[in-house]
Amino acid sequence: MLESIYLPKLNHLVPTLDSTLLKIMEEAGELARAVLKFLPFESLQRDLVLQNAAAAVLLDDVAGELLDVAQTCVTMIFVMEDMPEFAGVSTEELINTHLSKLEAKGYRFDHTPAYSITTEGNYKYLVLPRLLLEEVTLLTTVCKIQEELGELTQFLGKRLGASGETSRLPRDEALQGCAEELLDVAQCCFTMMYILAERYGADIGILVERHIEKLRRKGYCTR
């Protein structure tokens, strides 16, 4: 059974679309650095990774950076939800569009679970598919995240005429496209989190708790 991953609203900050876009690029870079450090251990069996103190620490770093990237996706969705142009977009619509897009691209996943995005207080609970990808690696995941971020920036950039181009989309449609790309980025992160749990026994629940506690220590959010 897939584990719901819950991430907080950073209610002690005042993020904007632009600041969050910069943040997600920063976090993607830090993820790439963490992955490069762990690469020498990636092919090891679970027991060998867990018995190697350095490898175990680096694995935790990778998982933490994956959650940081996913966090910025959730933060941006929270930001957009406060915008009038985004008022007509429902999370059910977003998740259905996301699943349809995965199917159209030929990605295989279990259709049995109820995939969802729900909000409870200052948290979003996300249940996204574990994509059944052949020969997926941490490095290919980093590359895929960069690809999705490129598509995200298109919605916030030239499709809104950010540099003086003729705007291709109304703002509400651009924001919906942006939200869909954010789910694509989060999907990459979640699939790899599930894979880390399967391959190396990473405890997603504990990792999420550590992630949230880190945000609280930094003063970004409340309980």
132: nearest Cα among 62, 191, 188 = 191
Helix/strand/coil for 4:
coil
77: nearest Cα among 62, 58, 93 = 93
Q: What is the pLDDT of residues 85-128, one digit of tens each?
A: 888 888 889 999 999 999 999 999 999 999 999 999 999 999 99
Residue 69 confidence (pLDDT): 97
Residue pair 153/23 in contact (Cβ under 8 Å)? The answer is no
The yes-or-no verdict on residue 166 having pLDDT over 80 is: no
Residue 70 confidence (pLDDT): 96
d(CA 47, CA 65): 22
Residue 110 confidence (pLDDT): 95
Torsion angle of alpha carbons 209, 215, 221, 223, nearest 10°? 30
- What are the residue ranges of helices labelled H in 89-160? 91-104, 138-156
Residue 167 confidence (pLDDT): 67
Residue 174 confidence (pLDDT): 84
Q: What is the pLDDT of residues 175-188, one digit of tens each?
A: 888 899 999 999 99
Helix/strand/coil for 205:
helix
Residue 160 confidence (pLDDT): 66
Residue pair 169/158 in contact (Cβ under 8 Å)? The answer is no
The yes-or-no verdict on residue 159 having pLDDT over 80 is: no
Residue 28 confidence (pLDDT): 96
What end-to-end distance do the CA atoms of the chain give, in Å?
27
Out of 131-135, 186-190, 194-198, which region has the weakest mean confidence (pLDDT)? 131-135
197: Cβ–Cβ under 8 A, 6 or more apart, which residues?
A: 3, 203, 204
The yes-or-no verdict on residue 1 having pLDDT over 80 is: no
Residue pair 202/65 in contact (Cβ under 8 Å)? The answer is no
The yes-or-no verdict on residue 163 having pLDDT over 80 is: no
Q: pLDDT exceeding 90 applies to what percent of the chain?
A: 70
The yes-or-no verdict on residue 223 having pLDDT over 90 is: no
Residue 67 confidence (pLDDT): 97
- The pTM for the full model equals 0.93
Q: Which residue has the higher pLDDT, 88 or 57?
A: 57
Residue pair 75/12 in contact (Cβ under 8 Å)? The answer is no
d(CA 57, CA 5): 21
